[in-house]
Amino acid sequence: MSEFVFEVAMSCGGCSGAVTKALTRHADEKKYDMKIDANLEKQTVTITLKDELKGEAYDDMQTELYEVIKKTGKKVAEPKKAQEDEAA
């Protein structure tokens, strides 16, 4: 499994619903098996993908999911790449 956590500014259930809906639609289109948890209290969206991704494949998926969230119009912090985490 691969997990992606994004910091997303969400002020209400409608905001978290919009993000969840966009990600669900994207997952359905791409045939991804993933679980989405939008947490208003923590201001995070956690996406768990059934497949295990590492390195560049992980970074590519992270960027793809980031772009989907960004298109909802919600403010989302740019995530760190896997290589940045390994270098730290």
Structure tokens given for 88:
């730290």
Q: What is the CATH class of 2-77?
A: alpha beta
pLDDT at 84: 53
Cα separation, 69 vs 87, whole angstroms: 26
> What is the reported pLDDT for 58?
94
Cα 29 from Cα 31, distance rounded (Å): 6
Q: What is the pLDDT of residue 83?
A: 53
Q: What is the mean pLDDT of each run of 10 residues along the chain (88 residues)?
A: 96 95 97 96 96 93 97 93 55
pLDDT of residue 51: 92
Residue among 78, 49, 48 at smallest CA distance from 63: 78
* Per-domain boundaries in the chain: 2-77
pTM of the full structure: 0.88
So what's the pLDDT on residue 80? 77
